[in-house]
Amino acid sequence: MNFGLNVPVIRLLIVKDWQLFQKQLAAYVLAGFAALTLLGLAKPWAFYLGSLALIVVLVAAACFAIATSLLVERKEQTLAFVMSLPVSPLDFTAAKLLGNLLTFGVPFAVLLLGTLVVILTTPLPDGLVILALLLFGHVLLAYSVSLAVAMQVESEGWNTFAMIGSMVLINPFLMAIGQIEAIQGPLRGDAIAWSLPAALILAGQLLVSAAALAGTAWWQGRKAAFY
């Protein structure tokens, strides 16, 4: 079953977006590499700097991937060229969603796994796993919302607002969970203790992310034509 999707062309569109994004991605890979090397120096200052740099790289890569594949294409009117190719709006949506999830998902998964391995295999308290998951959950949520907005809304201003706004919210979010004793308490312990608020927040993040992406896919997929 391919659900009427034009799979070869979707693949080509993803490869095309990847090629367009390649130069930027190379820069992010280099930056990520440098951040990992900083972590590898095994000094406290290098550890903080490295993990900060990693988050910055991840967020920047996510935002610019959206910008390159959706916003710039719209602004530079190359979108008309893509739409003239034999694709339906559903194919186009699938290519954009999959392509973006790939460019974001791969580094995101690698970083998440790496972070969990570092926490679990080093003397760092294992309770931090929950904090790390909530943090990555927020980045995922911010990314999904930005992607959904970028696919639905043409206005560049709203898109920039969605991207920067959702990512910047990470600070108040961290402060907020700092206030919740049930989450904050077990962080320094060596057991991974799930509290109800933590579980609810993570579930909420995952649900909203999935809903935003699924809603976008559904909304775009039922359009018969682009305009």
Partner 1 sequence: MTPPRPAAPAASFDAGPAVRIHALDHLRALAMLAGVLFHAALAYSPLLGSYWPAADRENWWGVDALAWLLHLVRMPLFFLVAGYFTASLLERRGMSGLARQRARRILVPFVVAWPLVDGSLALATEWAAAAVAHPSPMLRLIRDWLAQPDPPSLPPRTGHLWFLYYLLLFSVLLWALRTLGWGARLERWMEKGPQHLAWALPLLLWPGFMATGSPHPAPESLLPEAWALAVFGPFFALGLGLHGRLEWLAPLQRWLAPGGLLCLGLYALLADHWTTGATVARTAWAPALLEALIAAWGTLVVLLVGLRFLAQPSPVLRYLSASAYWTYLVHLPLLFALQYPLMDLAWPWPLKFAAAVAATTTLCLLSFELLVRRTPLQRFVG
Partner 2 sequence: MTAAFAVKGLRKHYPDFALQDVDLTLPQGQVMGLVGVNGAGKTTLLRLLTGLAAPDAGSIEVLGCRLPDEQVAAKRQLGFASEDMRLYRGQSLDWHIDLVRRIYPEWDDAYARELIARFDLKPAQALGGYSHGQRVKALLLLCLSRRPRLLLLDEPTTGLDPVARAEVLETLCDVLRDEGRSVLFSSHNTHDVERLADSIGFLHQGRLVAHADKERFLDNWRRVLCLGAAPGGLDGWPELVHVRAAGSQVELKVRAWRDDLPQRLSAAGLTVQRVDPMPLEDIFVTAVRAGGAA
Helix (H, G, I), strand (E, B) or coil at 127: coil
- Residue 176 touches which of partner 1, partner 2, none (CB < 5 to 8 A by kind)? none
Distance CA 36, CA 57 (A): 11
Q: What is the CB neighbour count within 10 angstroms for residue 71?
A: 18
Note whether 123 binds partner 1 by CB under 8 A. yes
Q: What is the CB neighbour count within 10 angstroms for residue 24?
A: 16
Q: How far is the CB of 197 from partner 1 (least distance, A)?
A: 30
Nearer to partner 1, 16 or 74 (CB): 16
Distance CA 57, CA 51 (A): 10
Query: Scanning the structure block, which residue is given the tokens 């993040």?
Result: 205
Residue 165 contacts by C-beta under 8 Å, 6 or more apart in sequence?
A: none
Per-residue x/- mask for partner 1, residues 12 to 31, rule CB under 8 A? ----------xx-xxx-xx-
Which position among 87, 112, 148, 213 is part of the footprint of partner 2 (CB under 8 A)? 87
Note whether 154 binds partner 2 by CB under 8 A. no
Assigned token pair, 168: 């910047």
Distance CA 94, CA 140 (A): 19
Which position among 42, 44, 86, 171 is part of the footprint of partner 2 (CB under 8 A)? 86
Note whether 88 binds partner 2 by CB under 8 A. yes
Note whether 77 binds partner 2 by CB under 8 A. yes
Please name which of 144, 109, 129, 142 lies closest in space to residue 198, comparing C-alpha atoms: 129
Note whether 39 binds partner 1 by CB under 8 A. yes
* Cβ 23 vs Cβ 105: under 8 Å: no
Assigned token pair, 142: 């911010």
Which position among 38, 64, 71, 91 is part of the footprint of partner 2 (CB under 8 A)? 91
Note whether 1 binds partner 2 by CB under 8 A. no
- Residue 220 touches which of partner 2, partner 1, none (CB < 5 to 8 A by kind)? none
Q: How far is the CB of 30 from partner 1 (least distance, A)?
A: 5
Helix (H, G, I), strand (E, B) or coil at 63: helix
Q: Give the footprint of partner 1 on this chain (CB under 8 A).
A: 22-23, 25-27, 29-30, 33, 36-37, 39-41, 117-118, 121-123
- The residues that touch partner 2, with contacts defined as CB under 8 A, are 6, 9, 12, 16, 19-20, 23, 76-78, 80-81, 83-88, 91, 224-227
